[in-house]
Structure 1
Amino acid sequence: MTSPGLAVARSGATGLVLTRTFAAPPALVFAALTRPDLLRRWHGAHGWRLTECEVDLRAGGTWRFVSLGPDGAEMAMSGVFREVVPPMRIVQTEIHRGWTDGAALVTTELAETGGRTAMTVTVEYSSPEVREQALRSPMRRGAGEAYDRLETLLAQEK
């Protein structure tokens, strides 16, 4: 099941664009996307929890997440921040443990509209095949559920 608030579309040969609007200002959304204490409260699909969360939020800084899910499943991902412009833009690499096809480049942009924040996440994969593999995975459902959890957190933090 996909979250009704999340839109996912192909872009070019290797890209995906995810869009979602949140009822919170960009500064709060940015904080929730970058602060480990907040990330631990929402990151991941239902049944998953972030057990390790390291964020060195600066250009050249690294990040690393490890999540545990149903039946002891584990997912680890990491990357390097290339650009950090609070509270409007983050550019980072992302690689999941086990990926052999290179890192994805993820650009997150936040724009305020009428007291709400429109978030656009553009993901450029290393090849069209890797993008299609991501689309066949439970990525849409997982991202949708995670962003639903983020919406709940933002409402609590206002």
Structure 2
Amino acid sequence: MAQHSTQRDVTGEHLHLVHELDAVPAEVFRHLVDPALLARWFGPHSVRVPVESVVCEPFPGGEWKLVMLDTATGTPYPVSARISEIVPPRLLVFRESETEADDATVHGLRLRVELREHGDGHTVMELHQGPFPPDTTMAGDTAEGWVQAFEKLDALLSGRDAPEPTGS
């Protein structure tokens, strides 16, 4: 199974990513809503997600949250969202809670993940996220984190272990 590249479009306050995966939409969807699976791939290479930190209530209004831990420093990076729309195995839409990052406060980021069947046993994942605070690098930094997470997801879906977290 091949590792696929990710198409990126990061413009201002929004990001748009498209990534092909070697699995059917139902399998990819499971990796978005099953806490044990989500913990194995979510976040950039420099973090790990303790499975006990993951909550996923796969229904409108349900919680979707986890804590990424920086493997070098132990710094926690919580992610907390509410599912606003869900259509298994094709669509997840989240509204993230207000968070603070560096000197900017992020107000209610919206995350939309769409899954489309593409050929025999493949899925195209299309991800939209924003708005990020203006005049920051948050959209680009977040896009890079997603690309690294997709590398881990590629490995899991192809039957390989996800890469071990690396130090920052």
Other-structure match for 2:145? 142
Displacement after TM superposition at 1:101 (Å):
3.5
Instruction: Please give the TM-score of this superposition, normalised by the length of structure 1.
Output: 0.85
Count matched residues. 151
What is the CA–CA distance in structure 2 between the aligned matches of 1:50 and 1:110, rounded to whole Å? 23
| Per-residue deviation, 1:10 | 3.3
Q: Deviations over 1:79-106 (max 9, x none)?
A: 1100010000011112464252311111
Residue aligning to 1:43: 42
Residue 155 to residue 96, structure 1, CA distance change in 2 (3 Å) = farther
Q: How does 1:77-88 map to 2 (within 5 A)?
A: 77-88=79-90
Please tell me whether the aligned partners of residues 132 and 139 of structure 2 are also in contact (alpha carbons under 8 angstroms).
no
Contact 1:103 1:126 in 2 (8 A): no
Q: Distance in 2 between matches of 1:92 and 1:40?
A: 18
Task: Tell whether the 8 Å contact from 1:111 to 1:117 is kept in structure 2 after alignment.
Answer: yes
Whether 1:111 aligns to 2:116 is: yes
2:120 counterpart of 1:121? no
Q: Any stretches of 5+ residues in structure 2 without a counterpart?
A: 161-168
After TM superposition, list the pairs within 5 Å mapping 1:3-42 onto structure 2: 5-10=5-10, 14-42=13-41
Contact 1:77–1:96 at 8 Å: present in 2 too? no
* Aligned CA-pair RMSD: 2.2
8 Å Cα contact 1:14-1:125 kept in structure 2: yes
Q: 1:94 is aligned with what amino acid?
A: E
